[in-house]
Amino acid sequence: MSKQIHEQLARGNARLVEAPVAPRHQVEADRNFELPTFFYGATVACYFGFLGLMTAAFGNAELAIPMVIFGLFIVAGFGVPSIWTRLKENGSRPMTLGKFGQGGIMTATGRLAPRDAAIQTLILPVLIVAWGIAIVTIAAFVA
């Protein structure tokens, strides 16, 4: 209802009051996806394993800077979210491996068994390491 109330103010029928101050509600965000820290560590280990494999197999002086940059991207990609989970306002904590093993995790499509959640979480990093092993093997046979 927006209308001019100048007449009511002039007659004294209207009064002005301060707007109520509502408390500020911070949006609660789960920044760790309820997964145990082990899965993040295993993912980082797989990515660094791939990087180490490529460095060991094809490393030379010209590739030193790109390999360091790739390593910095991995550290930044997992380090910044790791810092987010440790912020003071973050009330959620990662699930322990024991609790994860007992009940799995809840997803948008329903409860996911621990084995299935582990497979879905680690399949890409493990496939990347397997791909690196295949590349190194092929390069060894070709050379």
Q: Residue 28 is encoded by which pair of tokens?
A: 């609660």
Q: Indicate the pTM of the whole model.
A: 0.74
pLDDT at 65 over 60: yes
SS3 readout for the chain? CCCCCHHHHHHCCCCCCCCCCCCCCCCCCCCCCCCCHHHHHHHHHHHHHHHHHHHHHHCCHHHHHHHHHHHHHHHHHHHHHHHHHCCCCCCCCCCCHHHHHHHCEEECCEEECHHHHHHHHHHHHHHHHHHHHHHHHHHHHHC
pLDDT tens readout for residues 35-49 = 888 999 999 999 999
Task: Please state the rounded mean pLDDT for residues 72-99.
Answer: 84
Q: What is the pLDDT of residue 27?
A: 62
Q: How confident is the model at residue 22 (pLDDT cuts 50, 70, 90)?
A: confident
Query: What span, in angstroms and rounded, lies between the C-alpha atoms of 78 and 40?
Result: 8
Q: What is the mean pLDDT of the chain?
A: 85
Task: Please state the rounded mean pLDDT for residues 66-94.
Answer: 86
pLDDT at 66 over 70: yes
